[in-house]
Amino acid sequence: MKTMEFGNHSGKKVFYFHGVPGAVSEGALFDKVAKQHSLNIICMNRFNLHPTLTGQAYYQQLASFMSETAGTESMDIIGFSMGCQVAIEASLLLEGKVNNLHLISAAAPLEAGNFLGDMAGKPVFTLAKKLPAVFFLLTHWQSFLAKLSPSLLFNMLFASAQGEDKNLIKDDKFKPFITPILKDCFNGHVKGYLRDIKHYVAPWQASVGKCTTNTTIWHGEEDNWSPPAMAHYLKQALPNCQKLELMAGLSHYSCLQAASEKIASQLAQNNDQSLNG
């Protein structure tokens, strides 16, 4: 499986599940802090896996790769947005090997609450659930936009930005960072994107209740991509959720940026404690 690694390549292994839309280069947000804390952030190009690989076979492929890569070492997992679902499903197949699971701006199961009405992605998820053929056409139109006018696609996706994300999209560094990620997703890996959306809108609430990994949730109070009600649900539903940290004024990507340094510091501290017995 193709990967992209950030931080210290000989450091403690941490597997990062990017968002949807997203790409492995999203992990670059962790590069600087991962180097500071001797962490090896490994981003798997899961969208590149063959599109016929779905359901448990898909999650097993990811978990097997993670297990083989980590070898005899334990690992930590970070999930962002809809990548949190894939992170949870993979962790269920890695029982005893995962120290900590960190969920950032986590998207919870749609069937677990009345979340959809507060989500910026409501039209997309509604189509994916009820009119998959129309959703397929919409996605390929977005793919066309990613080639023809990536700036227009960026503006469309972030038109509903709230909280600190409003300032983030005006930042000179953010658009050049996120635009290639969108192009990568919708140009080269659209089938993988479609698979993750299909999995997300299907029922998966049972997996949340089975996830016994020590979990921390990081969530922006102004998030309208993954409403805060999702974070509160996950806090109650995950058997070993240690903490929900709500971050004032932050939304979706601004929470990712703010949480990255805190998570890296916490993982390094946990690793030091483990080494010192």
- The half-sphere exposure of 114 on its side-chain side, counting CA atoms within 13 A, is 0
* Contact indicator for 159, 120 with CB cutoff of 8 Å: no
**H-only helix segments in the chain:** 31-36, 55-70, 83-92, 122-130, 132-148, 150-157, 165-168, 174-183, 190-201, 205-210, 228-237, 253-275
Q: Which residue has the tokens 């990536």?
A: 150
Q: Which residues, listed in sequence order, are joined to residue 77 by a DSSP beta bridge?
A: 15, 101
Q: Which residue has the tokens 């997309």?
A: 124
Domain residue limits, the chain: 3-275
CATH number of 3-275: 3.40.50.1820
Between CA 235 and CA 242 the distance in angstroms is 8
Q: What are the tens digits of pLDDT across the range 150-191? A: 999 999 999 999 999 999 999 999 999 999 999 999 988 999
Residue 110, C-beta contacts closer than 8 angstroms, at least 6 positions apart: 116, 125, 129, 200, 201
Q: Taking the chain, what is the end-to-end CA distance rounded to the nearest angstrom? A: 34
State CA 93 to chain mean position distance: 18
pLDDT at 188: 84
Residue 158: how many CB atoms within 10 A of its CB?
A: 19
Confirm whether pTM is higher than 0.85. yes
Ranges of residues in the chain with a pLDDT under 70 are 271-277
State CA 221 to chain mean position distance: 18
Q: Which is nearest to 245 in space by CA: 262, 257, 261?
A: 262
* Contact indicator for 20, 200 with CB cutoff of 8 Å: yes
Between CA 61 and CA 51 the distance in angstroms is 13
Give the H/E segment covering residue 5.
strand 3-7
pLDDT at 261: 93
pLDDT at 228: 98
pLDDT at 276: 52
